[in-house]
Structure 1
Amino acid sequence: MTLSACGVRPTPVLTGAEAPTVSSHELTVYLISAEQNGLVRRTRAYSGTVETATAINLLVAGLTDEEKKLGLQTEVPTTSSRIYAVSNVVLLPEDMPPLSKWAQFQLYCTAIASRAKVEGVQVSDIDCP
C-alpha cells in the first residue's frame, strides 16, 4: 500500500479567539401582591446586555406564567414600544395610557432597583419592599 501527501506542510497549532460568553443577570421588578395590598419584589433572569431600563422593559412586557400562577398582578400597561432611561429620567412611550398609582409605584421601585444594580448607585431612604 502506498501513501502520498498533497504537499501541504505542517503548521504550528493555531489558536482561535475567546469562546463566546452569555452574560446572565438577575433583575428586580415590582409587582402588586395577590391581595392587592402592596408591592412584592420579583427576580427575573435576563441574558444579554443590561442597561438601566432593561428591568423596566421586562416589567412593561407583562407577567410571566409563574407570576400569573402566584396571583401577582400589574397595573403597568403592556407595550411593545421600548422604554429608555437617561440618567434619572425614564422615558415612557407616547402611546402608553395614563398610569394608576400602583403602576407609578411599580415603575418607580423597578427603576430604583435597576439603577442600583446597573450603575452601582446606593439606594437609601427608598420606601420599596
Structure 2
Amino acid sequence: MLTGAEAPTVSSHELTVYLLSAKGDELVRRTRDYTGNVDTATAINLLVAGPTEDEKKLGLTTEVPSSSSRVYAVSNLIVLPEDMVGLTKMAQFQLYCTAIASKAKLEGVPFSGVECP
C-alpha cells in the first residue's frame, strides 16, 4: 500500500461573457468553460481576451479593448487596467453584464432586475 498526499482536485466552472452581435448593436450571452479558481475578475479577463475562434466564426465581436494587464476584483469593485480608457457604451455594457452574470453565478444569487440578455 502506498501512502501520500491527497489527489489534487481541479475545479471546472461555466462563466458567462457578453460579446456583440455581428452588427455590433446587440449583446450576445456566451458561456465558456474555465478550469481553475474563479472570481468575477476571471470572467472579465476572459472577455478582455476577446472572442474565441468559434465565436469569431459566428461573427461575434467585442468593443472591449484588449490589454496586456490583468483586471482585478477588489471587494465589489472591478479594477480595469490603465490602458483601458475611453470605453464605448457597448464596451461598458459588455463589462457590466459579464460582471453581474459572473457574480450571480459564483455567489448563487438571482440574476434579476438587470437589463442583460
How far apart are residue 35 of structure 1 and its match? 2.9
Structure 1: distance between partners of 2:104 and 2:64: 21
Provide the TM-score with structure 1 as the length reference. Answer: 0.84
Large movers: runs of 4+ above 4 Å? none
Distance 1:91 1:38, change over 3 A: same
Return 5+ residue gaps in structure 2 as ranges. none
Q: Structure 1: which amino acid aligns with 2:64?
A: V
Partners of 2:66 and 2:85 in 1: how far apart?
10
Instruction: Check the 8 A contact 1:52/1:119 in 2, yes or no.
Output: no
Residue 80 in 1 paired to residue 68 in 2?
Answer: yes
Q: How does 1:5-24 map to 2 (within 5 A)?
A: 13-24=1-12
Aligned partner of 1:58 in structure 2 is 46
Out of 85, 107, 114, the residue aligned to residue 119 of structure 1 is: 107
Structure number with bigger Rg: 1
CA distance in 2: counterparts of 1:16 and 1:113, whole angstroms: 40
Cα distance in 2 for residues equivalent to 1:38 and 1:87: 29
**Take 2:83 and 2:25, find their aligned partners in 1: how far apart are those partners?**
28
Q: Determine what percentage of the aligned residue pairs are the same residue.
A: 74
More helix by share: 2
- What is the CA deviation profile of residues 97-116 of structure 1, one whole-angstrom value per residue up to 9, with x for unaligned ones? 31000000000000001111
What code does the residue aligned with 2:94 have?
Q
Structure-2-length-normalised TM-score: 0.92
Letter of the aligned partner of 2:40 in structure 1?
A: T
Tell me what 2:15 maps to. 27
Moved more, 14-23 or 66-75: 14-23
**Structure 2 counterpart of 1:42, from 10, 20, 30:** 30
1:15 shift after superposition: 2.3
Cα RMSD, aligned residues only: 1.3
List alignment gaps of at least 5 residues for structure 1. Answer: 1-12
